[in-house]
Structures are given as C-alpha cells and as structure tokens.
Amino acid sequence: MVNLTIDGKKISAADGETLLQVARDNGIQIPTLCSNDGLEPYGACRLCVVEVQNGSMVTLETACTYPAAEGIKVRTDAPDVIKARKLVLGLHLARCPNVKLIKELAAQYGIEKPAEHLRMENEYCILCGLCVRACNEVVQAGAISFCGSGKDKRVDSPFGLEAEDCIGCSSCAFVCPTGIIKVRDIEKATEQMPAGEVEIGPERIIENWNRNLKLRTCKDSNNAYAPEFMLNRFCKTMDLPDQFFDISPSYREFPVVDEDLCVGCGACSDECPVGAIQLRERENKEVRSNILTTHCCGCRTCTMYCVRSAIKVPEIA
C-alpha cells in the first residue's frame, strides 16, 4: 500500500493503481475521453491531467497513466490543470463542434466556442482510440487502426477498403463515446445482380469499415443474432463443435438428465465442450450423468451424442 494526498484528502492506494483509479475509488471525479476500465491506460486525450507534487518537483501528468506513489500530493483543480483542460476542450470543440459529449464538457469549463484562431471543422471522431484499442486488445481482431498523421490522422480499415478481419462484434461501436460508428442489422438484405435483385437474408453492416456480414439464425427462435464469420472464428480458435452456436444465448436452457433412461455410458461427458458433465455414482452403485449448471452453457451438444435420448432440454414457456 502507498499513502498519498489528493485535493488535501489523505488516501491509501494499492500498489500499481493509477491516480485515475484511486481518485474515482474515493469519489473524486476526473474527466477523461480515452479511458475505459476494460482497456490499458492510454493517455491520449490529455483531459485527465492533474498536478503532481513529488518532493520539490511539480508537474502536470495524465492521471490515467501515472501510478500512485508514496508521499505525492495531487491536485485535480489547480489553476494550471484547469488551463490545460480548457486548452484541450477548445481544440476538441474546434474539431468536433457538433459532438454532444464535447459540447457538454466544454460547457462545464465555461467554453462556449473555440478560440478564433482555430480552424473550425465538422468531424465526429475525437481520435480517442477506444475503438482501435478494443479491437486490438480485447477482440484481438486487429481490423482497424490509426492512419495518417497530424490533421490528417483518422481511424480506418486497411487502405480504406473492407476490413476483412472485422468479425462484426460491434465492440468498436459499443465503446465509441460519440456514436459515429454505425452498425445496422438488416432482416432481409438484398444485392443487385445482373439478373436482378437477390435476397441474401439477415445481415450486419458496419458502415465505417465497409463490412457486410451474414447473420446466423437461431434454430429455436428463427431470429438472426450474430455474424456467421464471428461464430465460425470462435469455433476455430476455441476448438468448439460446429453446432455450438446453433442456439442463441437467449434461448439456451440447461438440459436435464432422465436417470431412468441414462445408462452412464459417458458419451455426453466426453463430447461436452465446456466440461460441464460428470459421471456420478448413485447409492445403488449405478452410474449416471450429472450436469453442472455452474459450467453448462446450454449449447445442447450433449443431446446430440446421447444414444438413449436421456438428455432433454426443457421447453421455453
């Protein structure tokens, strides 16, 4: 543990915690645009700057990347901190004057419009990097990245063409703070062919990355629920059976074992992709399958391999 002071408040923090984490855990709010608990600290937006006094040295540091250290004194509202944040928000407001989040943050710091010497643009991407980092760190698809530099810097697919590695998970749209990443699910997508319009079925479209992906349909509900490309990749990378995603998550139920039909052959246990079935010996020494609901994912693979049809799935009311 380390002891530090934030805005005059003495605080104890765990080793390895950042100033942003420590502040938030103690009810001290620090604004940020590029921080997300599920991603590694980035420090790109510079909005979370704080004043750090370490001995006789006083510096401005990004709270999301600066580790809590013994004896330091931190100020989140020092004059230089406020000045730095206003400068950052003024630049963002000039680049993205119509982004709601930017306008709200700017208003909190008394900024109604950017400085006159700044050129006004009409962008909606604030270059926070959340989408790129989510795609690379969490999804590990690496489908999008930053390209260009300076005023020409942007997030894009390779060469501005279709992002062929995009699995259509929509993580980029989920973490985007401005809503500029557009994902649409179409129930009956069509394509123009020389012979006329052809229906290709349910499809997910990620407009920003020029990506169109066919959606898989749940065999129980007949509802489209996830891109085929994504589910096939999951099956391959996690060594799952092909039928693992035949049923959508909302229609999965824990199967039950009819012990009068079960003979304890173990076929279901051998084929369960998540290790949720064990053989259990009853009081009369007979062996029967036992499904662990804490592990079961409801994929129904066991029902396919049960030679006695002893494993059944309850009907959804």
pLDDT digits over 25-53, tens only? 999 999 999 999 999 999 999 999 999 99
- Angstrom distance (rounded) from CA 287 to CA 185: 47
Higher model confidence: residue 194 or residue 312?
A: 312
Same domain, 91 and 179: no
pLDDT digits (tens, 9 = 90+) for 242-261: 889 999 998 998 999 999 99
Same domain, 119 and 134: no
Q: What pLDDT, on a 0 to 100 scale, did the predictor assign at position 104? A: 95
Asked whether 247 and 304 are in contact (CB, 8 A), the reply is no
Q: What pLDDT, on a 0 to 100 scale, did the predictor assign at position 316? A: 58
Domain region containing 179: 130-228
Same domain, 9 and 115: yes
Average pLDDT rounded to a whole number, residues 272-286? 92
pLDDT band, residue 199 (cuts 50/70/90): confident
pLDDT surpasses 90 at 110: yes
CATH number at residue 13: 3.10.20.740
CATH number at residue 215: 3.30.70
Q: What pLDDT, on a 0 to 100 scale, did the predictor assign at position 195? A: 79
Same domain, 268 and 208: no
Average pLDDT rounded to a whole number, residues 150-155? 90
Q: Token pair of 18, please?
A: 């950042």
The residue from 124, 154, 179 where one domain ends is 124
Q: What pLDDT, on a 0 to 100 scale, did the predictor assign at position 242? A: 87
Q: What pLDDT, on a 0 to 100 scale, did the predictor assign at position 191? A: 79
Same domain, 117 and 26: yes
- Angstrom distance (rounded) from CA 270 to CA 273: 8
Asked whether 95 and 68 are in contact (CB, 8 A), the reply is no
Q: What pLDDT, on a 0 to 100 scale, did the predictor assign at position 117? A: 87
Per the DSSP assignment, residues forming a β-bridge with 12 are 3
Average pLDDT over all residues of the chain: 93
Same domain, 83 and 179: no
Same domain, 115 and 134: no
Residue 57: partners with Cβ closer than 8 Å, 6 or more residues away: none
pLDDT digits (tens, 9 = 90+) for 52-100: 999 999 999 999 999 999 999 999 999 999 999 999 999 999 999 999 9
The residue from 124, 151, 180 where one domain ends is 124
- Considering the domain boundaries, does residue 240 fall inside one? no
pLDDT surpasses 90 at 129: yes
Q: What pLDDT, on a 0 to 100 scale, did the predictor assign at position 302? A: 94
Residue type, 44: A
- Considering the domain boundaries, does residue 244 fall inside one? no
- Considering the domain boundaries, does residue 171 fall inside one? yes
- Express as a percent the part of the chain with pLDDT over 90: 84
Average pLDDT rounded to a whole number, residues 221-232? 95
Q: What pLDDT, on a 0 to 100 scale, did the predictor assign at position 194? A: 84
The residue from 75, 94, 124 where one domain ends is 124
Please give the span between the terminal C-alpha atoms of the chain, in angstroms, as a whole number: 52
CA angle (235, 219, 141) in 5-degree steps: 30
Q: What pLDDT, on a 0 to 100 scale, did the predictor assign at position 204? A: 96
Q: What pLDDT, on a 0 to 100 scale, did the predictor assign at position 61? A: 96
- Considering the domain boundaries, does residue 284 fall inside one? yes
The residue count for the chain: 317
pLDDT surpasses 90 at 317: no
Same domain, 163 and 267: no
